[in-house]
Chain A
Amino acid sequence: MKKGDYIVFAAIVLLSGVLLAVSLSGKSGKSIEISCDNKHYKSYPLNKNGEYKIKTQGGENTLIIEDGHACFKNSDCPDKTCEKMGKISKAGDSIVCLPHRVVAEVED
């Protein structure tokens, strides 16, 4: 362990702090816009809790809106990447389901 190592550690912690601050800031969105194949499908308000089934040519994704967050659950796509993307709530955030070509984006 040399002196420079501590500088590296400090820099990493600092960078993480900055990234955390950036991710926590950001406007909360008002609605979720779902598009399929880059064409508008439907929009849902983020302030009303609900479960919506999005049926497209590829299959079905379940969009869950709860407490101002939205996430995909119970998608029948093969890789389930969309479910792993977690919850979105800030303007500009989006979740993508590549196999079904579905994009859910938060609008403010």
Chain B
Amino acid sequence: MKKEQNKVTYITLLAAALGIALMLSFLESILPLGFLIPGFKLGLSNSIVLLCLKAWGLRQALLINLTRILITALLFGNILSLALSLCGGLCSTLLMYFLLKFKGLSNIGVSSAAGAIHNLAQLGTALLLLDTFGISHLAPFLCILGGATGAICGLAAQIAEKNLKFADFALFFKK
């Protein structure tokens, strides 16, 4: 009985994480930042991905991130933003997975690096797909901006994690 209950809770938490990530993506879509580069995004949902990585692992985090990207692109975006988001999301999730292994980094550093890589990967993909070097001049600014927004996401993830542990949610984290 206990095992079944834990499994249901696990699936529900996964779905809840996906829902929150989708909401954050929706918030991002309201802010019209697409004037710099078509498909440019803040990495707000990376904080959810980070928590998923810490709670469960790479497989679940990738699942939630890729599903979130797919649904967001279908609802609010176009093929171009789908391609950019996929590459950015994949690179940042993998980077976060590897950086979390270092004990000397907190959530903020991991998220900051992931944000910078997310933006740079998106720029790189845009360069490849659109075949133009004109936008490559935005690279340094994207790097700093990505690092800054990533740091803020990391802070949010830090606060969330502290409060989740306090509420004994950690009991459910290991399915």
Binding between chains A and B: yes
Report chain A residues within 8 Å CB of B105.
2, 4-5, 8
Contact A96 B116, beta carbon cutoff 8 Å? no
A residues lining the B interface (CB < 8 Å): 1-9, 11-13, 15-17, 19-20, 22-23, 79, 81, 84-88, 92-96, 98, 103
Report chain A residues within 8 Å CB of B136.
23
Per DSSP, are chain B's interface residues mostly helix, strand or loop, or mixed? Answer: helix
Per DSSP, are chain A's interface residues mostly helix, strand or loop, or mixed? Answer: helix
Which residues of B121-136 have CB atoms within 8 Å of chain A's CB atoms? 130-136
Contact of B109 (CB < 8 Å), options: A2, A79, A84: A2
A20 to B140, CA, bound (A): 5
Q: Which residue of B lies closest to A87 (CB)?
A: B134
A85 to B123, CA, bound (A): 12
Interface size counted on chain B using CB atoms at 8 A: 30
Tell me the number of A-to-B contacts counted with CB atoms below 8 Å: 90
Report chain B residues within 8 Å CB of A85.
132, 134-135
Interface centre among B105, B134, B139, B151 (most CB of A within 10 A): B134
A71 to B161, CA, bound (A): 47
Contact of B137 (CB < 8 Å), options: A3, A23, A84, A94: A23
Which residues of B96-148 have CB atoms within 8 Å of chain A's CB atoms? 102, 104-106, 108-110, 112-113, 116, 130-137, 139-141, 143-144, 146-147
Q: Does B19 interact with chain A (Cβ within 8 Å)? A: no
A16 to B146, CA, bound (A): 11
Report chain B residues within 8 Å CB of A88.
133-134
Interface centre among A1, A96, A98 (most CB of B within 10 A): A1
29 A-B pairs within 8 Å (CB atoms) are namely A1-B108, A2-B104, A4-B102, A4-B104, A4-B105, A4-B109, A5-B105, A6-B109, A7-B109, A8-B109, A8-B113, A8-B147, A12-B116, A13-B144, A19-B139, A23-B136, A23-B140, A81-B130, A85-B135, A86-B137, A88-B134, A94-B131, A94-B132, A94-B133, A94-B134, A95-B134, A96-B132, A98-B130, A103-B132
